[in-house]
Amino acid sequence: MPVYGSCAGMILLADRLLDAPPDQETIGGLDVTVRRNAFGRQADSFESEMDVEGLGGGSLHAVFIRAPWVEEAGDGVAVLGRVVGGEADGRIVAVRQGNLVATSFHPELTGDRRVHALFVEIVRRHLAARAGAGAGNEED
């Protein structure tokens, strides 16, 4: 099933967590290790321009609020975006594994709909594949 998680959603989709309470559970599904509040406290929240793989139209304005980052991504995880510049240069902040997408930033806080459009396309393809798998089985 397609799922998109931003910020805390990335934490919930991660298979492994760092800096989490020992009893924190996740939904899992993404073969990643995520560090909670990796960029620091609320006062350390920031905005930045970045490129996200699979999104045309130039750089994306990203809003990071007490955001996590991906410390480690498994072989089946596509890294879609990394921080550029500053102390966090190169840190992974957008990933995809199959029908799962996660960002450590909040695209819903900007007017840019490209991340959500990417996810909607994943949902459409998933639904089309399910409809195709059932084609010819109308009697079932």
Active site residue 87: no
Element containing residue 117 per DSSP (H, E) = helix 114-134
Q: Are strands 60-64 and 46-50 parallel, antiparallel or unpaired?
A: antiparallel
Q: How far apart are CA 88 and CA 25, in angstroms?
A: 26
The Cβ of residue 50 has, within 10 Å, a number of other Cβ atoms equal to 18
Of the residues 53, 72, 108, 121, which is catalytic? Answer: 108
Active site residue 108: yes
Active site residue 25: no
Of the residues 7, 25, 72, 139, which is catalytic? Answer: 7
Query: 16, 37, 12: which is closest to 26 by C-alpha?
Result: 12
Q: How far apart are CA 20 and CA 34, in angstroms?
A: 9
Known catalytic residues?
A: 7, 106, 108
